[in-house]
Each structure stands twice: as structure tokens, then as C-alpha cells.
Amino acid sequence: MKQKKFVVGFIGAGGIAHSHIFSLNSLRNYYQNLPEIELESVCSVTEAHRESFAARYGFNKAQDQEAFFSNKKINTVFILGPNKVHYEHLKSAINNAQLTQVYLEKPVCSTVEEEVKIAEMVRDHPEIKIQVGFQYLFSTNIREALIFWKSGKLGRPVHFDIKYYHGDYLQLSYRSKRTNRLTPAPDGGAMADLGSHAISLLLAFLGDKIQIINAIQAGNFDDVPADSDLFSLINLFDPVTNAAGTIAASRVSSGTGDLIAFELYGERGSIKFSTHNPGYFEYYLEETGEWCRHLTGSDYRPSSNFPSVHVPPGWLRSMVHAHYVFFTGNETKSLIPGIAHGLAVQRIVRQTAGHLSDFRQRTSGLYNAKNPDILL
């Protein structure tokens, strides 16, 4: 039987689009027996951006939105534009009769009304495959850690502590280039942009019944709106297991690089992993009283000799595998983040915005900048 041909269109030509086209073009390095993929069109608001992107990476066309959504050749859409337009782009894409699948970057939307409408669209179009851009779920150490946790060897969860930190927004030059990410939550801010990945991981391990209890934020600069969280921390509770813990997201944590640190404590042991050490995860068993390190390397399937299975995986390697799963459906280990997962993450991101607003109101006027020892 002849494999289906995927005719791809990109909506967006910014930074994340470059990572996606790298992953698409790298598939043949890692995997055999791939379906045929044709790069048809790039859509971007700025004509110069879409033209240069299309020329650089070999797309057949660079089109404005009207022409893009009227292009009857495209059956696979990558939605990679600004957060606030993800819903509108998804709605326009799904209305195309020839569409079969969508790769939707997180966050999937910005408001509760959009969440409801997306759920309705998905029910009306069950034939369309949607995969959401939580590529950390495809990292080898995280995939293997999730399998180990699901084995039950560590018992029921008790508490958790998850961080996603980097420090680039401490620099004015960096903030100035990315003002579109400094919009208020849930459209922008650290928890929406970075913390959503941490929320995704927590839901993968504990399920989608997690509830947010409260939130705080910190960090302020004159050029950053007060309602854009540079650092935020949320307290969460799982009503199924009574487990509780925190997720912290930061753009202003000096010296952290790009760090996800995950710790989950159970009744019979604990498990942890970090993006600073992508080649393994660690676990502790109460019965032995020992920490164990489980090496994972680049243990992807189907196995690849490029560059080698023992080579430590990087950030882009998990994205490449996410694209392989997207185009082939061949996967047995990863939790594949469909639209239900994306909406579950978005619920917590949206509710975080409300809790952060309450926190700002409660703490307004409490800090005395001239004399920090005195609360007003």
C-alpha cells in the first residue's frame, strides 16, 4: 500500500519555526521508511519574513493568510505563530476540507472561551490528528522515567517539586527583542511560556485532575508590565491521590541556563531528572536505601546509528522524534500530547493568571522601597 504524502504548510516564520524545519529536515538522518513530505507553503504576517524563510528552506510558496488557507494542496499544518493567534489559526486550518493533521505549538489558546470552542471543533472533526508541541515528553530520560513511575515501584505520590528556569530576561537587550512574550498571563509570562512544559510533565505523571490552589510572582523591571510574570510559583493539589507540590517558572534565574528539574516523591521511593543531565534519570527505593542512576542515552526507536545510541540527547533530538511520531504514528513509549493534553495544561495556565492577579491585588502597597524592613 502506497504511503500517504504529507504536504506541509507553516504558519509562522519566527524562532520556533526554525527549530521545526530543522527537525523536519533531520528526520532522514535518524529514520528510514519515512513517508513523503513536501514543503508547500509558509505563511507570515510580514512578507519579507515568509519570503526569506521559504527561500532558505525550500518551500514552494510564501503566502499571506488568505492565500495560505485557500491552498488546497496543504494537508498538514504547523501552527507556529504568536501565542495569542493559535486558536484563530487552528480554527481557520480545520475549516479546510483536505486537512488531515495539525502540529499545534503550545499554548493551544488564551481564553476559556477558546478552550471550549477547541473542544467543540475536535468533537466535530475527529478525523483530524492534532499533536501539541510539548517535545520534552519525547526526551529519552523523561520517557523512561515515566515508564518507571507507572510501574508502581515507588508507590503512591506524596509530593512534587518542578522547576523550569532560565535567566535571559535579566538582560535588557533580550527583553527588548521579545516584548511580544511580555504580555499578561495567560497569553504571556513565564508560567505560560515555560511553566506549561512543567505542567505538561506533571499531568503526564499524575493525570489531568490536578488543581491549582494559589500562585505568587516576583521580579520587576520598568520596561516589563506588572502583570507579566517574570517568575511565578503555583501550588497544586491532586484530588485523586492527595499529592501536593509546586511548579516554578522563571525567566530571571541567573546562571541556570535552560533548566527543567523534576522531583516526585512517593510512599516507597522517589524519582528525579534534569535537562542538565539528559542521559539518565535517578530513583531512590526505601527498601534498599540507595539511589540508582538509570542511563538512557539516545535510546530512541526505531534505533538509529546517527550519531550513536550512546551519544547524550539534546533539546532538538526530542523535537525530531516528536516529528517522527507526528508523521508516522509509530510510538510505544512516549505519552503523545494530543489536544486533550494541551487543553488540560491550558486550564492550569489560564487559572494561574487569575491567581496571579489576586496575588498582585493582595500585595499591592505592602513593599516600602525606601525601607524594605517596613511593611506598609
Which domain CATH number covers 28?
3.40.50.720
Q: Is-contact 196 349, C-beta < 8 A?
A: yes
Asked if residue 173 and residue 294 are part of one domain, the reply reads yes
SS3 61: strand
Q: Judge whether 369 lies within some domain.
A: no
Task: With a cut of 60, say whether residue 374 has pLDDT above it.
Answer: no
Rounded Cα gap, residues 166 and 107, in angstroms: 19
Asked if residue 258 and residue 203 are part of one domain, the reply reads yes
Cα distances from 268 to residues 70, 191, 289, 325, 330, in angstroms, run 56, 31, 10, 34, 33
Partner residues linked to 7 by β-bridges: 38
| pLDDT at residue number 1 | 41
Backbone angles phi, psi at 366, to 5 degrees: -80, -25
Asked if residue 258 and residue 156 are part of one domain, the reply reads yes
| pLDDT at residue number 371 | 52
Which residue, chain included where needed, has cell 524594605? 372
Task: With a cut of 60, say whether residue 43 has pLDDT above it.
Answer: yes
Asked if residue 210 and residue 142 are part of one domain, the reply reads yes
Asked if residue 110 and residue 147 are part of one domain, the reply reads no
Q: What is the pLDDT of residues 166-219, one digit of tens each?
A: 999 999 999 998 888 888 888 889 999 999 999 999 999 999 999 999 999 999
Asked if residue 260 and residue 232 are part of one domain, the reply reads yes
Which residue, chain included where needed, has cell 491549582? 212
Q: Judge whether 313 lies within some domain.
A: no
Cα distances from 76 to residues 130, 250, 329, in angstroms, run 10, 34, 14
SS3 279: coil
Asked if residue 163 and residue 141 are part of one domain, the reply reads yes
Write down the mean pLDDT value for the chain.
92
Fill in the amino acid letter for 352.
T
| Domain region containing 260 | 137-308+338-359
Which of the two residues, 301 and 87, has the higher pLDDT score?
A: 87
Span 229-252, average pLDDT: 97
Asked if residue 190 and residue 273 are part of one domain, the reply reads yes
Rounded Cα gap, residues 170 and 178, in angstroms: 12
Instruction: Choose one of 80, 98, 132: the last residue of a domain.
Output: 132
Q: Is-contact 252 219, C-beta < 8 A?
A: yes
Asked if residue 209 and residue 175 are part of one domain, the reply reads yes
| pLDDT at residue number 2 | 53
Q: Judge whether 371 lies within some domain.
A: no
Cα distances from 116 to residues 86, 109, 110, in angstroms, run 14, 10, 11
Q: Judge whether 370 lies within some domain.
A: no
Instruction: Choose one of 132, 151, 176: the last residue of a domain.
Output: 132
Give the list of residues 6+ apart from residue 217 with CB closer than 8 angstroms, or none. Answer: 229, 230, 231, 232, 233, 356, 359, 360
Task: With a cut of 50, say whether residue 375 has pLDDT above it.
Answer: no
SS3 305: coil
Rounded Cα gap, residues 52 and 45, in angstroms: 13
Q: Is-contact 268 154, C-beta < 8 A?
A: yes
Q: Judge whether 373 lies within some domain.
A: no
Q: Is-contact 20 2, C-beta < 8 A?
A: no
| Angle (deg, nearest 10), helices 15-30 and 47-57 | 10
Residue 57 in grid coordinates: 528552506
**Which 8-state DSSP code applies to residue 99?**
-
Q: Judge whether 344 lies within some domain.
A: yes
Of the chain, the percentage scoring pLDDT greater than 70 comes to: 95
Asked if residue 255 and residue 170 are part of one domain, the reply reads yes
Count of domains for the chain: 2
| pLDDT at residue number 308 | 66
Task: With a cut of 70, say whether residue 291 has pLDDT above it.
Answer: yes
Q: Judge whether 228 lies within some domain.
A: yes
Q: What is the CATH number of the domain that holds 345?
A: 3.30.360.10
Give the list of residues 6+ apart from residue 228 with CB closer than 8 angstroms, or none. Answer: 182, 183, 184, 185, 188, 189
Which residue, chain included where needed, has cell 535517578? 282
Going by pLDDT thresholds of 50, 70 and 90, the confidence category of residue 159 is very high
The angle formed by the CA atoms of residues 153, 157 and 158, to the nearest 5 degrees, is 130
Residue 97 in grid coordinates: 476540507
Asked if residue 170 and residue 221 are part of one domain, the reply reads yes
Pairing relationship of beta strands 244-250 and 157-165 according to DSSP bridges: parallel
Asked if residue 297 and residue 165 are part of one domain, the reply reads yes
| Size (the chain), residues | 376
Rounded Cα gap, residues 339 and 330, in angstroms: 18
Q: Judge whether 1 lies within some domain.
A: no
| pLDDT at residue number 217 | 97
Q: Which of 272, 265, 173, 185 is nearest to 225 (CA)?
A: 185
Instruction: Choose one of 114, 132, 150: the last residue of a domain.
Output: 132
